[in-house]
């Protein structure tokens, strides 16, 4: 296993990026074969072209400013290997407009793909009605892209 530094996490097999809005100090811990990083995804310094798969559930839709979304897409483009797979899920067009009291942006497959641009080939998408532990139902969109 390669060593990890708090400023530039390296990628053993997988790096769960545990997102925590309140504490963006990069925190790195290694458990088994995975490296856990807590950081602001728009700012963290990830190892370039190190990841085969990027999987985000319910983070991207919190990025309400165009500059944050641009920074996120730059992260993905830089961190994922060429021809790597990118799975992003957000609230769908009929999903909630807020989550945890915060505004979100809702997407359909086309509008989400537009955020990522032509270097991302949209391979598949689907919508899911997600039942929360509180018994409510939220529409989610899942998109699978490949970086070209």
Least gap, CB of 111 to ligand SAM (angstroms): 19
Burial of 74 (C-beta count, 10 Å sphere; 0-12/13-18/19+) = exposed
Q: What tokens were used for 19?
A: 């997102």
40 contributes a contact to ligand SAM by CB under 6 A: yes
Determine which helix (DSSP H) or strand (DSSP E) holds 89, and give its type and residue range.
strand 80-91
Asked if 42 is part of the footprint of ligand SAM (rule: CB under 6 A), the reply reads: yes
Q: Yes or no: say if 79 and 46 are a contact pair by the CB < 8 Å rule.
A: yes
Measured from the CB atom, the residue of 30 and 71 that comes closer to ligand SAM is 71
Q: Residue 58 or residue 70: which is nearer to ligand SAM going by CB?
A: 58
User: Taking CB under 6 A as the rule, which mask of x and - marks residues 88-127 in contact with ligand SAM?
Assistant: -----------x----------------------------
Q: Is 20 in the site for ligand SAM (CB under 6 A)?
A: yes
Q: Residue 122 Cβ, how far from ligand SAM at the closest point, in Å?
A: 21
Task: Name the pairing type of β-strands 137-147 and 120-131.
Answer: antiparallel
Positions that interact with ligand SAM (CB under 6 A): 19-21, 40-42, 57-59, 62, 99
């Amino acid at each position: 296993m390669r060593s990890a530094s708090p400023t530039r996490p390296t990628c053993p097999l997988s790096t769960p990026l545990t997102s925590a809005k309140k504490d963006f100090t990069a925190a790195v811990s290694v458990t088994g074969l995975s490296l856990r990083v807590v950081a602001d995804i728009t700012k963290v310094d990830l190892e370039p072209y190190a990841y085969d798969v990027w999987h985000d559930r319910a983070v991207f839709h919190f990025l309400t400013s165009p500059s944050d979304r641009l920074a996120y897409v730059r992260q993905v483009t830089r961190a994922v290997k060429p021809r790597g797979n990118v799975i992003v899920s957000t609230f769908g067009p009929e999903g909630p407009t807020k989550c945890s009291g915060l505004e979100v942006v809702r997407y359909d497959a086309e509008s989400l793909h537009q955020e990522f641009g032509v270097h991302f080939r949209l391979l598949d998408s689907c919508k899911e009605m997600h039942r929360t532990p509180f018994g409510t139902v939220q529409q989610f969109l899942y998109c699978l892209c490949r970086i070209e």
